[in-house]
Amino acid sequence: MPADTRTVNALSQYAAYHRDQRNIGTHFVGIPLIWLAIAVLLSRPAWGSAPLLLSPLLLVGVLLSVYYFRLQKTLGWLMLAVMLLTYAAAQTLAAQSTTVWLGSAVGMFALGWAIQFIGHYYEQRKPAFFDDIRGLIIGPVFMVAEACFLLGKLPELNAAIEAQVGPTLIKPRPSKP
């Protein structure tokens, strides 16, 4: 099944900023930390009772799910699974004291971005969202796609992205004269 042009274009735009394998590796840690931190922050205020608490996180999750499913069905299902796990973890942290809730979210957010910037040091390129704010929404689904590619899944999508931006590689840092 050929990859959808809209999906390829969205992921390729982001992938162009992420061709160094070390950068992609850091994103497997940094993006989930940032994703969870934002989910924790959006879990308050909450109304209702467990397991379904109404919160800003639920609204954002529904909107993102619609976007990811429109982008690509398989990635949409995988992102829904990621979001449900994130929702459960975020609700648990949001139920703690304000100090634990806020401290954990801010700590994960700062650590996640520090790891991201280490990766971009290797990439020798600024993060994608500096040029296009949509990179903040594409980043998580790009990492899910990268995980699929590592497992040998979605080969047509991987090939289509690589046809636009080239393969991933490790680029040596230029030596100082």
pLDDT digits (tens, 9 = 90+) for 37-60: 999 999 999 888 776 778 999 999
Parse the chain into domains and list their residue ranges.
5-165
The answer, yes or no, to whether residue 174 has pLDDT greater than 70, is no
Asked if pLDDT for residue 1 goes beyond 70, the answer is no
Q: Cα(75)–Cα(65) distance, rounded to whole angstroms?
A: 10
